Structure 1
């Protein structure tokens, strides 16, 4: 895979983003220094684990917390996937997140039961009605 260096990128951040090591990036790209220049092109060998991540573009009103929750992550995990200078996000900023649609991952679905299908609970009732089914 080809990666174009952006302002503020470091070898460490790129290695984390693509789940590889700084040493491997140096070796693949024959780098003798850690200095990167915006626009510089790097080869990145994407490991199988990196395929479990996707990019999320920040929308108006989103926060680290809301994005983490959307993808089933903690804020700490989201920060580990994205070396951020601060917790402030910009609209249009891209973040790496776990792909919730990967095979074998668990999905949470919510189902709303219509009010007319609900049964009232009695005090101290431990769902005995349902235990007999």
Structure 2
């Protein structure tokens, strides 16, 4: 029985590696985000060509000195920007039932409206959301439809696709490496890859779709990343993501209580958990909504 179990795990690992090869070259980075060293190239000449510093090139490629060789692939630190989406929103109710009544009326008119919430200064507000669009023109049409049906304060809210450091669901493994840099080591278990950067803990855990290699889950632990542009304090989180849709308390280590900010957008969910001090980020968890 143990042999069969090991065989199944080995087979799944092979499938995972095969999926990764569909979108990553032998260095583990996307082709369009790397450069191959040619005769006469130096770190300085490459850095000048791509508007980088030598230090950035060395850090992103884990180089301890300035020596490079012909044929070597160097990753370029290209920052990915999350896609902008347009959401049609209306109303701001302090009572949930009032928002639900308005949604019921809209549905009778054939408008697919749903309830959404925002927590601002510990108070929950209930709002009507009537679609998420990639094109602003389509959102404008939906806004006018809502206004015609009595939601006079309907407006278009611009949101970024939920992400962690620019990586969103559907991104590739190459984009993960671009945003978080090459790890010291990796570990694979079924369709989960753990990336280690600092200390003994995994800084990143990535869940892969075995069919196309895209990401359907991403967890990040700032304590094991030491990444400067990742928000690690509550005020930085609000500056990056805005006010959350939900706030809740959960049990964490040593019987303590930790707070969570929960962001929900376009059927994706980002949970950000704070430490016992209520300010410092413990982890980010990006996944599909259940």
Instruction: Tell me the TM-score range normalised by the shorter chain.
Output: 0.3 to 0.5
> Greater strand share, 1 or 2?
2
TM-score, with length taken from structure 2: 0.17
TM-score norm. by structure 1 comes to: 0.35
Q: Identify the structure with bigger relative contact order (alpha carbons < 8 Å, sequence gap 6+).
A: 1
